[in-house]
Structures are given as structure tokens and as C-alpha cells.
Amino acid sequence: MRLARTADLWWKNAVIYCLDVETFFDSDGDGRGDFRGLCQRVDHLHELGVTCLWLMPFYPTPDRDDGYDITDFYGVDRRLGTHGDLVEFLRLARDRGMRVIVDLVVNHTSDQHPWFRAARSSPDSPYRDFYVWRSEPPPDGPSGVVFPDKEDSLWQYDDEAGEYYLHRFYKHQPDLNVASPAVRDEIARVMGFWLELGVSGFRVDAVPFLLETAGALDAGDLPDPHDYLRDLRAFLSRRAGEAVLLGEVNLPYPDLRRFFGDEDGDELTMCFDFPGMQSLYLALARGDAAPLATALRERPAAPKDGHWATFVRNHDELTLDKLSDDERAEVFAAFGPDPAMQLYGRGLRRRLPSMLGGDQARLRLAYSLLFTLPGTPTLFYGEEIGMAENLAAEGRLAVRTPMQWTDGPGGGFSTAAPNQLAGPVVEGAFGPANVNVATQRDDPESLLSWFTGIIRQYRRCPEFAWGTCVILDCPGSSAAFAHRADLDGQTVVAVHNLGKEPITVHLPLAGADRGTRLATLAGAHQATDDLVTGDDGRVELSLDGYGFCWLRVRPPHPGG
């Protein structure tokens, strides 16, 4: 493998870890996590094998939307620390070989942002055009609010301004007018500021909404929104050639592919694979590999320098909106039958361990898939120890509970009283008494130890990240999912059993001669002929229920 691949396109085989500073570790006992606390826990992430940290919003905020309602795009919320604390964290991460990307949330602001306060004060304000105003809401304007349980309109009347403003999210988050050149220039300045402080790119929030210009200008006078995304990418490349734009684009594959740009990839560097994630959950619910295999065969290829980002759990509700109504009902029935576990009628506010009833075999199967499927694996904090949710928390906050470090009060997250914590700690079987870092760190059989080992093995298999993926047919078992990845004459194979019953798989290895050896890298299996392929290029493998294995194809020994 060429060294330039690793140096220039580091995101291709990165391990991304998403965390919220506020709920990670509290250094001063005020009940909120902070950057000094994150600095104290950075070695946990390094030892786990993380190579890129994605920080959820840490900017000044009234905190009515968990930090996504921002009042200063250049600031650090004083409850979390200072710019100096942030820079110290960036240095510590860099010293350990970890890059840091931050949330770019510029499709809206808080209604307390100085820009909006100035905009509403007068029609002549230079900030008036930063937002989208109408004297009357257009009857044929954009439809579809993001949070249908909270909002029933895209337009909110403002008494001070005497007009309606557009908001696709909450009414306290007015949309920025990205059709305005001044807004575009300001967004570029925001990006430039954080790049100068040392971040390696941005996770771009709700990209389709960021580019949406409907309602902003009169028909016929709208710029091409993808031109703007190309401009952002070009600006990023000029300022920091190795920085990335990781986009949240929850659309069907044909529409999603457009956000990469042309065949060379001149828009987003990476896109989250939402359709693939939803198909994975349908496959897990059914114990049938077909939905996942179909999705990966239909997934368009990313540009040569771009990549898909794969995930099992994100920081929002686990959206299932791209499944059919019947398919979504299947997943709900399997993993979230109680309406309290569901959100917006389209997703689940649970984490995987509780969905699977704590079944360690199924958990490890799901994450083995994450690390072997083509794309950049992205973890949400706490997944490495099997954290669950607290349904007593409102909405999506159920999965954004404090990190569980020890079995002590507050899970070792903070010394503050429970009512002062940034969020309620998980309770019951998945609470800190049973699930925490300290207990698992020294247990070689723990989920944390398994994650550390599987990430180490993933880093030794560049074929999964860089190679060409081929889904293999496995006749005789609908639960079997197998694929190979080829790179520079090297091949690795991964086989997974999504069902609870043991299976035998006749694995096809096109081009393999008799005597070809298969070295086991991870997982467990039984095989005929000591893993030597037969005359027909097939090898027979037996997997336990929810079993998996990773194999490296090795040529025959010289002389047979």
C-alpha cells in the first residue's frame, strides 16, 4: 500500500469517535463535562484505538437544543471551558496521533444570537438578510418540519420584526439565509477560524437543509446550492489540504451520491451511510442478511478520494425513515415495541445493547460488521463499554447520558449531586454498577477489551478500508453475510451469521487455487481441510449463532 494513501487520505481507515464534552467527564464537580475533563480522559480514547475525535457542539448556547442552538460560532461555552482549554485538548490529541473534527452547525442560529437580535430590530439592519423573512407565510412554501412533535409550521411571527421568519427546526432556531453572499462569507470565516486553531475538518450538520434555498428568494433567482458546497470544499482545501467535510445527509442513495460532487469528489469528503445503517437494523431484526446485502450492492461508489462513513448508533434518534412502513414496524417490534422507545414515528431513542437485551454475541456481531463493511467506522461515546439509554430523559437526550467511568455515584462522571448533572445517568441493568470503564479495563473478556482488540485488528487490515468490496453469495443460509475486500493483490474475507442458529457456509473464493490458506484474524469458526480451499475454489465454514470470522487469504505453500 502506498504511504501517500495514509498520509493524504487519513480518513479512509480512520476510527471516528463522537462525543459530547458536556457529558464525557466533569473535572470541577459542577455537574457538566468540560474540556479539562476531556483532557484527563484522552488516554482512554488513545488506548481504545481511536484516530479521529468528533466533538458535538461546544459553542455558547442557551441550551434549548442540547447545544445546537448557537449564539456564537467562534466561541467556547464558558460552562465547558475556554479557548485555552480547547487548544490544550487539541495538542494532547495531536500528540497521541488523533485528529479532531468539530460540528459545523450553520443552517440556523439561536434566536438569542447577536445576528438575529440585530436582524429583528430593523428592516434596515445589515443582518436582516442573514435570515429569511416574509410579511405572510407563503402558502406554497417549503413543507415538512424536522421535529413534528414540537412544531407544526415552518414560519414563526416575530413581534419585534413585524414579520415571519423561516425555521425548519425549532422556532427558537431561525434559519440562516445561505443564499446571501454575506452569510456565505461568514460561514467561511467560521471554518477558517477553527482550522487555524488546529481542527482537521467538520461534521456538517443537516447538509440538505443547509443547502435548501426554497423560500429565501424569488423563483428564478436561486443559486445552485451544490455550487455553494463546492465553494466550501474548495475553501477547505486551500486552508487545510488534509481536512475533511463529513456530511449528515439522510437521503436515498441516488440523491445522497450528489453530495459527494463529481467523480473526483469536489463537495463532501465523506457522507454517512444512512440507508445502509437502516438496512442493517432490518437484517438484524429478521436474522436475514438479504436487506444488508441488497443495500450494499445498490450503494453507489464514493469518489476515488471520498468515502462512506458507517455507524451502528448515531447521536440522534436512530432514524428508520428510509424503510417502508412494514419494514419499520418490524424493527420497532424487534427493538423498540414500547411507544416510549420510539420518536417522531420514524426512529428509536435506544442504544444497541438494550435493543439486543444485552446479548454479547449479537453486540459483537453488529460491531464486527461495522469494522468490516466498506466505509469509515464511526462510534458514539460509550459504545465501547455497552452503554444503554435512559428513557426518562426527553427525546433524543435519552442516548446522550453521562459517560460511565466507574461503578460509583454518578458513574464516576461527576462528583456533583444527581440533580446537578448534565443529564440523568443510565439506571438498571445497564447502569454504572454493571457497565463502566474501570471494571472492563482489566477484564480480558469484557466488551471494552474486545473493542480494543478488534480496532487493533481493523488497523492491520487496510483492505477493509481501501480495498474493493465484493459481496459473496452464500447459498443454503439466508442468515449468512460474507464479503471480500481486495487491495494490491491482498485479500481479506469476513463472514457473519445474523441468525441465532449455527450455520455452515460454502464460501466461494474466485481465483483461489487448491492449497490456498485462510488465516483467522478475528472471531471463531470451524472449517474443513484446515481452511484449505477445494478444487472448486470454495471452503466450508461453520459458525455458531451470531458468530463471525475475519480471514486473510494466503497463497499456497511453495511446493504444495
Question: For the residues of 56-100, what is the DSSP string, one character each?
Answer: PP-S----SSTT-S-S-TT---TTT--HHHHHHHHHHHHHTT-EE
- Grid cell 424536522 — which residue? 146
Among 152-156, 357-361, 552-556, name the most confident range.
Answer: 357-361
Give yes or no for residue 2 having a pLDDT over 70.
no
State how far the Cα of 246 lies from the Cα of 253, in Å rounded to an integer. Answer: 16
Position 75 scores a pLDDT of 98
Give yes or no for residue 423 having a pLDDT over 70.
yes
Asked if the domains at 3-105+181-459 and 114-166 fall in one CATH topology, the answer is no
Q: 309 falls in which pLDDT band (50, 70, 90)?
A: very high
Position 527 scores a pLDDT of 60
Q: 347 falls in which pLDDT band (50, 70, 90)?
A: very high
Known catalytic residue: 160? no
Q: 8 falls in which pLDDT band (50, 70, 90)?
A: confident
The side-by-side arrangement of strands in the sheet containing 526-527 is: 503-508, 538-543, 526-527
Give yes or no for residue 386 having a pLDDT over 60.
yes
Position 43 scores a pLDDT of 98
State how far the Cα of 90 lies from the Cα of 398, in Å rounded to an integer. Answer: 28
State how far the Cα of 199 lies from the Cα of 226, in Å rounded to an integer. Answer: 24
Average pLDDT over every residue of 280-286: 98
Position 152 scores a pLDDT of 84
State how far the Cα of 305 lies from the Cα of 303, in Å rounded to an integer. Answer: 5
- Provide CB contacts within 8 A for 140, sequence distance 6+: none
Position 524 scores a pLDDT of 80
The domain 3-105+181-459 is classified under which CATH number: 3.30.420.40, 3.40.50.150, 3.20.20.70, 3.20.20.80?
Answer: 3.20.20.80
Position 490 scores a pLDDT of 93
Q: Quick one: which H or E segment has residue 54?
A: strand 52-55
Residues 400 and 303: beta-carbon distance below 8 Å: no
Position 212 scores a pLDDT of 77
Average pLDDT over every residue of 523-534: 62
Say which amino acid occupies 257.
R
Q: 5 falls in which pLDDT band (50, 70, 90)?
A: very low
Position 300 scores a pLDDT of 96
Give yes or no for residue 185 having a pLDDT over 80.
yes
Average pLDDT over every residue of 127-132: 97
Position 3 scores a pLDDT of 34
Position 1 scores a pLDDT of 36
Q: Looking at 238-247, 451-460, 547-556, which range is the least confident one?
A: 547-556
Q: Summarize pLDDT for 32-58 with one digit per residue, the tens.
A: 999 999 999 999 999 999 999 999 999
For residue 279 the three cell numbers come to 438496512
Q: Summarize pLDDT for 425-450 with one digit per residue, the tens.
A: 999 999 999 999 999 999 999 999 99
Q: Quick one: which H or E segment has residue 379?
A: strand 376-380
Look over the chain and give the mean of its residue pLDDT values, rounded to a whole number. 92
State how far the Cα of 378 lies from the Cα of 371, in Å rounded to an integer. Answer: 9
Average pLDDT over every residue of 70-94: 98
Pick the catalytic residue: 205, 212, 266, 267? 205
Q: Where are the domains of the chain?
A: 3-105+181-459, 114-166, 468-554
For residue 520 the three cell numbers come to 483467522
Known catalytic residue: 149? no
**For the domain 114-166, what is the CATH code?**
3.90.400.10
Q: 558 falls in which pLDDT band (50, 70, 90)?
A: low
Q: Looking at 165-169, 222-226, 247-251, 455-459, which range is the least confident one?
A: 222-226
State how far the Cα of 11 lies from the Cα of 51, in Å rounded to an integer. Answer: 9
Backbone angles phi, psi at 292, to 5 degrees: -70, -45
Give yes or no for residue 560 having a pLDDT over 80.
no
Pick the catalytic residue: 20, 248, 266, 267? 248
Position 481 scores a pLDDT of 97
Give yes or no for residue 249 having a pLDDT over 90.
yes
Residues 464 and 374: beta-carbon distance below 8 Å: yes
Position 82 scores a pLDDT of 98
Helices vs strands, H then E, count in the chain: 17, 22
* Overall CATH class of domain 468-554: mainly beta
State how far the Cα of 407 lies from the Cα of 413, in Å rounded to an integer. Answer: 10
Tell me which of 145 and 17 has the higher pLDDT.
Answer: 17
Residues 75 and 60: beta-carbon distance below 8 Å: yes
Position 60 scores a pLDDT of 98
Look at the pTM and tell me if it is higher than 0.75. Answer: yes
